[in-house]
Structure 1
Amino acid sequence: MGAAYFYHLTRNPLEHTLPILLGKALGAGWRVTVRGASLDGIARLDDSLWKHPEEGFLPHGLDTSENAADQPVLLTCGMNNLNNSACLMTVHGADITADEVNALERVCVLFDGADGAAVQHARVQWKALTDAGCSAQYWSEESGVWEKKAER
């Protein structure tokens, strides 16, 4: 049974934080699916990951590629686990279900703290998942370092 980790981005943008979390997940031996809410957003993340030298090369691909099932990190807007991932990271308000949280090792919900609609959407997701009995943690970087602020 997994857990949902909510990451409230207030100091660094998604393009900075996502590669760090992906590196940690790959370091744990997990395959990862990154689910976005739009094809344009996923395309921008794909481009950003190719240009992020701080974390080194992050092997990844799009779900439309021929070898999608072989990708250690798969970028998608779909609800399928095509690469048999142990970790799902959602961005841009993508949907997540309690069944997914329970089936995976970890689910990470990354949301932009400067976007009021994104914060509200994350609150709705938190409530839905915790009401369904999922374990959840809320992490904030407001102080300059990541701190766990809540756990259910």
Structure 2
Amino acid sequence: MRVDFYQLTRDPAEQVVPLIARNTLGAGERLLVVSDDEQQLARISAGLWQKIPDSFLAHGLAGGPHDARQPILLGKAPQGDNGARFLALADGVWRESEGMQRVFLLFPPERIDDARRTWRLLGQREGVERRYWRQDGGKWREGP
């Protein structure tokens, strides 16, 4: 499993998730987006419709009748019925997730201590690749 840590210093998760979603769909994968904050999920939903011009990022909220058909599913738990192998943890809270190939942990500066604990925890696990990303102006840079 690969875990990408995204430190959000400029843009909030609702602006970053559409970019991750576009790239995920472009790779032929499905995405599950998780947050305990219903208002954040609503902002992410709006961002999936509006953030990227000329892109249609079809999605739905978990618990609906067509969850299995959704390429992007938004919910409160890391169990998606859409067959996603990519998971975006939009609220910066680490959750264990079985069967995921790639996890994106998006965290704001106030959650950096939690992210560091998660980094160390995952560093002790076999088969976990970790990468750290930070915003540098308008671009994402891999860094220490």
Say whether the fold is shared (TM-score over 0.5): yes
* Pairs aligned (count): 143
Say yes or no: does 1:135 pair with 2:129. Answer: yes
Q: CA RMSD in A?
A: 1.9
Between the two proteins, what is the percent identity of the paired residues? 31
- 8 Å contact from structure 1 (residues 63, 76) kept in 2: yes
Counterpart in the other structure of 2:93: 94
Say yes or no: does 1:107 pair with 2:100. Answer: no
- Choose from 135, 139, 142 the match for 1:145: 139
Say yes or no: does 1:52 pair with 2:51. Answer: yes
- 8 Å contact from structure 2 (residues 15, 47) kept in 1: no
Counterpart in the other structure of 1:65: 64
Q: Distance in 1 between matches of 2:7 and 2:101?
A: 20
> 19-28 vs 2-11, which deviates more?
2-11
Counterpart in the other structure of 2:78: 79
> 134-143 vs 49-58, which deviates more?
49-58
Q: Distance in 1 between matches of 2:115 and 2:87?
A: 15
Say yes or no: does 1:125 pair with 2:118. Answer: yes
TM-score w.r.t. the length of structure 1 is 0.83
- List runs of 5+ in structure 2 lacking aligned partners: none
Pairwise CA distance, 1:72: 0.2
Q: 1:18-37, aligned counterparts within 5 Å?
A: 18-37=17-36
